[in-house]
Amino acid sequence: MAFKEKPFEQKPTFEADRDGFVKFGDVSRKLLNKQCQYGVTYAFGDESCDCPNLGKDLRITGDPGIYHDVKIHKDDVDEFIRRYEAYKKEQKF
């Protein structure tokens, strides 16, 4: 059986506002494969589900209780995803 390579997946682009912020929900759905209300717990941390604060020192705005209003600066998206992937690997999930 021949090995088939996965086709190259282009990194998604996000529409930024005039200050350079993108909707966290878009990032969460496209890069974390999580609905916004679940992805945002990693951006702010949530002790009730043992989610670490992976957004520390990143430009993330909004209230996690109103998760649809949360935004992350476009230049911080890659670092947030790097932290999330490292956490997933560390937790083995």
Nearest CA to 15 out of 25, 2, 5, 4 is that of: 25
- Between the alpha carbon of residue 21 and those of residues 6, 43, 53, 66, 70, the distances in Å are 31, 14, 19, 16, 9
Share of the chain above pLDDT 90, in %: 76
Q: How confident is the model at residue 48 (pLDDT cuts 50, 70, 90)?
A: confident
- Residue 65 maps to a domain: yes
Give the H/E segment covering residue 72: strand 71-73
How many independent structural domains does the chain possess? 1
Q: How confident is the model at residue 11 (pLDDT cuts 50, 70, 90)?
A: confident
Q: What is the pLDDT of residue 9?
A: 58
- Residue 45 maps to a domain: yes
- Residue 37 maps to a domain: yes
State which residues form the domain around 33: 21-91
Q: How confident is the model at residue 10 (pLDDT cuts 50, 70, 90)?
A: low
